[in-house]
Amino acid sequence: MLSASDNEYLTRTGPETPMGQLFRSFSIPVLLSEEIPEPDCPPVRVSVLGQPLVAFRDTEGRVGVLDEACPHRTASLFFGRNEEFGLRCTYHGWKFDVGGRCVDMPNEPPTSTFKHRVRAMAYPVEERGGVVWAHLGARAGEEHTAQVPDLEWCLVPDSHRYITKVLVDCNYLQAMEGDIDSSHSAFLHSRPDNSIDRGSATQFRKEDLRRYSFQDRAPRFFTVQTDTGIMVGARRDADEQRYYWRITQWMLPTYSLIPREDGHLLQCNMRVPADDHRHWFFRTQYHPSRPLTSEELDEFRHGGNVFQDVLPGTYLPRQTLANDFLIDRDVQRSGSYSGIKGIPSQDQSVTITMGPIADRSREHLATSDAAIIAARRRLADSADAVAGGHVLPAPHDPRSYLLRAPALLLARDVAFDVGAAEAMWAARTEHDRAAAS
Amino acid sequence: MGCAHRARPRSGVVRLGEALAIPYIRGAEAVFDAATQAWLRRFEYAELPGCAVESDSAMEGMRALERARVRGILTRVAAGQEVPRPRPPLTGVSVSRQLDALGLAASRDLLEKSLADAAAAPELVALLRTLDGTREDRCRS
């Protein structure tokens, strides 16, 4: 359990909060590139870390992420006109470029220099992997060293990756904790007969070794700190010589690589606070060495089991608390453990129902929650450090994010991080080889 | 077996702060205590021999384990023994802040000392005395 004050500390991410400062020391995902697909397209508004933002793509294709409020009278720039290298507020015609500079102030005399003294708050942005990343701790044009992490899915060709996002109605932390809770999948995402939930696992994901997860639902957990975050090993008996390990990589601030067997599609989850009661859930599936097939893309795009069905034209899930996530009690009796279609909705049925911010003073943590406890402590330590003026290395060391989360068999007398090293670092090896060729 | 680890020990830890930043694999399991007929949470750093705690509470157990880790390392340093180094020290954590969180105050000067110099430092002895005052977080050997 956590005290109310510790819970507040970890869950509040506004600009003046320690955790907010931690997030603002990184470049983080703020929207998908597809949301602003072409030059001079309509701007979009997005809330991140409790900040109302507006994003637009200018005439040359450059992306701007600005505070939504116009610096003139604080009207919303979302209703602005995106035209000729800038976003123009419809209230009085003030126009701002992607760097936040006021480039036109038509209701002042043409010779006035006032426009040079007015600036919209704009943030440094970079597009990678189909995502617009922003560093909300700096102003566009200022020198900063926070870099977009070299997560492997950012480095593969677009054809090898599918990525989308949904808005989830709960604080980021309780959902992120689910990403590193390796024990829940053997229940929430399973069938009553202990087999993998075929209604949950994608038809393309038939991992041979996963059966061990359902044979042993009480694995032993091991965690080890890394410079980027925490490596979480869930160990189950396989045979007399080997253990079955599922190794989750949790990386600051809120990224999780989900364990996968070699050769399968790989997955990364990212939880970005929209505000303290909602978060953006970015999820990607990718293959490091081949394009996704049309069948895979078709399932992903139409809200299969790994991605959610959303309301048309939005990033809002169709299954919500308001409709009980469309639970089917007949299916729950005979088909799947949860009776809810799709892994993300299954997850949300347990995380959203904790409340907008889970009351952690009421919880009773077990040994299987060791990774959650460790991650909370790491987040708090990191926030403490940033608040104290310490510079974390992770935001400035993109390459440390270039790794994988393997699920594999290892000899019983081998440390999991040693035995799995080759599989974990294969991303780096393969990327270096490709870069050299 | 316990926390399966055969990572190759490496030498090269120079400063006390580095020794305290070495990451070890932390194991967690539920164990039955026959004496009390109760299930407990057991946490251990098996790479740091003898470093294990049992607790009713997972949160308290992990906190006690951190104190036990610090105590185990300081004890080794004070005795001139080698500190196991299965992997390089972390650079992304603030050791002094971690010690603060455990209720232990260590000066930057002490953390910057070489292991040999730290072994003779009165401040290290005082830290160990503080840790000795708490029964629950002793390393069990």
Model confidence pLDDT, tens digit, residues B74-132: 999 999 999 999 999 998 788 888 888 888 888 888 999 999 999 999 999 988 988 87
- Separation of alpha carbons A343 and A188, rounded Å: 8
Q: Does B27 touch chain A (CB under 8 A)?
A: yes
Kindly determine whether residue A223 and residue B25, on different chains, have CB atoms separated by under 8 Å: yes
Task: List residues bridging with A266 in a β-sheet.
Answer: A286
Pairing of strands A266-275, A161-168: unpaired
- Separation of alpha carbons A303 and A318, rounded Å: 10
pLDDT digit string (tens) for chain A, length 437 residues: 889 999 999 999 999 999 999 999 999 999 999 999 999 999 999 999 999 999 999 999 999 999 999 999 999 999 999 999 999 999 999 999 999 999 999 999 999 999 999 999 999 999 999 999 999 999 999 998 899 999 999 999 999 999 999 999 999 999 999 999 988 888 899 877 655 554 444 555 566 777 777 777 778 899 999 999 999 999 999 999 999 999 999 999 999 999 999 999 999 999 999 999 999 999 999 999 999 999 999 999 987 889 999 999 999 999 999 999 999 999 999 888 999 999 999 999 999 999 999 999 999 998 889 999 999 999 999 998 899 888 899 999 999 999 999 999 999 999 999 999 999 999 898 888 888 88
With beta carbons under 8 A apart, name residues in chain A contacting B51.
none
Kindly determine whether residue B25 and residue A227, on different chains, have CB atoms separated by under 8 Å: no
Report the gap between the CA of A280 and the closest CA in chain B (Å).
26
Concatenated DSSP letters of A238-279: -SSSEEEEEEEEEETTTEEEEPB-TTSPEEEEEEEEEETTEE
ipTM confidence score: 0.87
Radius of gyration of chain A (CA): 23
- Separation of alpha carbons A24 and B122, rounded Å: 40
Whether the Cβ atoms of residue A321 and residue A329 lie closer than 8 Å to each other: no
Residue in chain B nearest A222 by alpha carbon: B27
Kindly determine whether residue A227 and residue B5, on different chains, have CB atoms separated by under 8 Å: no
Size of interface A-B (CB pairs under 8 A): 108
Q: Which of A373, A393, A415 lies closest to B25 in CB terms?
A: A415
- A contact set with B (CB within 8 A): 1-2, 218, 220-228, 233, 235, 243, 365-370, 373-374, 377, 380-382, 384-385, 388, 390, 392-394, 410, 412-418
**Please, which residues have CB within 8 angstroms of residue A274's CB and are 6 or more apart in sequence?**
A46, A47, A48, A50, A167, A280
Q: How many helices (H) and strands (E) does chain B have?
A: 6, 3
- Phi, psi (deg, nearest 5) at residue A52: -75, 120
Tokens of A70: 């116009």
- Phi, psi (deg, nearest 5) at residue B99: -65, -40
